[in-house]
Amino acid sequence: MGEQRATLFPQEIIDQWAGLGLDLGALFSAGHLGTRMSVQVLEAAPERIVGTMPVEGNTQPYGLLHGGASAVLAETLGSVGAMLHGGPTKLAVGVDLNCTHHRGARSGLVTGVATPVHRGRSSATYEVAITDEDGKRVCSARLTCMLRDVDASVYHRG
């Protein structure tokens, strides 16, 4: 649905991950599930992650945006933030996701903006505001990720 846009990363993130020879856009994406749901991560920095998802194709039987789709967008954006916060030596693993759905959406794109609530050594929590094209909040979510130590070679596994 629409054209795929490259994720915008700040230069310090590009520099931090440069030696690993990775496609940052692919690493910090929603993966296969996100591709099926047309999730796009537009901006990614530890302080702010922005992404979009179409309502079309992600609805429940009443024609409204599925709450689980909002959860996928929220977990994607919060996880990207936690991974960027942790850097190449940490792996972010979601341990708690809470979503409150405020209103329905029947068409267009929804946009999620994730901002940190807490960024520590072993965990990171992000708040995600998902809004419709009119700027009305559709969902408020909070994701907490555990940050685990990992050797950077894990990123080269197939």
Residues 54 and 70 sit within 8 Å (Cβ to Cβ): no
Which is the catalytic residue, given 3, 43, 56, 75? 75
Length reported for the chain: 158
> What are the distances in angstroms from CA 88 to CA 72, 100, 147?
23, 32, 11
Secondary element (H or E) of residue 79: helix 67-86
Lookup: tokens for 134: 């009119």
Active site residue 56: no
Look at residues 37, 70, 52 and name the one whose alpha carbon lies nearest to residue 133.
Answer: 52
β-pairing, 109-119 vs 123-131, is antiparallel
Active-site positions read 75
